[in-house]
Copies of this chain bind each other. A is one copy, B any other.
Amino acid sequence: MDLELTFTQYNIVYNAFSFTIAAMGATTIFLFLQRGQVAQKYKGALAISGLVTLIALYHYWRIFESWGAAYTIEGGMALPTGEPFNDAYRYVDWLLTVPLLLIELILVMGLSSAETRAKATRLGLLAAIMVILGYPGEISQDAGTRWLWWFLAMIPFVWIVYELFVGLRQAIDNQPAEVRGLVSAARWITVVSWSFYPIVFIFPMIGLTGGTAYSAIQVGYSVADVVAKAFFGLFIYVICARKSELEFARSGAQQPAS
Interface residues of A, Cβ cutoff 8 Å to B: 7, 11, 14-15, 18-19, 21-23, 25-26, 29-30, 32-37, 40, 43-44, 47-48, 50-51, 54-55, 58-59, 62, 73-74, 82-84, 86, 88-89, 91-93, 95-96, 113, 242, 245, 255-258
Contact A33 B35 (CB under 8 A): yes
State in angstroms the CA–CA spacing of A96 and B230 once bound together: 12
Alpha-carbon distance A62/B19, docked complex (angstroms): 11
Q: Are B86's CB and A26's CB within 8 A? A: no
- Chain B residues lying within 8 Å of A26, measured Cβ to Cβ, are 51, 54-55, 96
Knowing A7-B84, A257-B256 are in contact, say whether A29-B54 is a contact too (CB < 8 A).
yes
A245: chain B residues within 8 A (beta carbon): 113
Contact assessment for A40 and B89 in the assembled complex, using a CB-CB cutoff below 8 Å: no
By DSSP majority rule, is chain A's interface helix, strand, loop, or mixed? helix
Q: State the CA gap A7–B258 with chains docked (Å).
A: 50
7 contacts between A and B (CB under 8 A): A19-B96, A22-B59, A22-B93, A26-B96, A30-B51, A113-B245, A258-B258
Decide if B58 touches A25 in the complex (CB within 8 Å). yes
Q: When A15-B86, A257-B40 are in contact, do A96 and B22 touch as well, CB less than 8 Å?
A: yes
Q: Are B256 and A88 in contact (CB under 8 A)?
A: no
Partner of A95, one of B19, B54, B74, B257: B19
Docked Cα-Cα span, A255 to B26, in Å, equals 28
- The 7 A-B residue pairs whose C-beta atoms are closest, nearest first, are A19-B92, A256-B257, A33-B47, A26-B51, A15-B88, A22-B55, A26-B55
Q: What separation, in Å, do the CA atoms of A258 and B51 have in the docked complex?
A: 18
Q: Say whether, besides A47-B30, A55-B26, A18 and B257 are in contact (CB < 8 Å).
A: no
Q: Which residues of B contact A30 (CB under 8 A)?
A: 47-48, 51
Q: Chain B contacts of A21 at CB under 8 A?
A: 58
B-chain residues with CB within 8 Å of residue A40 when the two chains form the complex: 37, 255-257
**Could you tell me if B33 and A89 are in contact, using CB atoms closer than 8 angstroms?**
no
Given contacts A18-B89, A113-B245, 4 further A-B contacts (CB under 8 A): A15-B86, A23-B96, A29-B51, A36-B258
- Chain B contacts of A35 at CB under 8 A? 33
List chain B residues, Cβ under 8 A from A18: 59, 62, 89, 92
The answer for the CA separation of A40 and B245 in the assembled complex, in Å, is 12
Report whether B33 and A92 are in contact in the complex, using a CB–CB cutoff of 8 Å. Answer: no
Taking a contact as CB atoms under 8 Å apart, the answer to whether B34 and A47 are in contact is yes
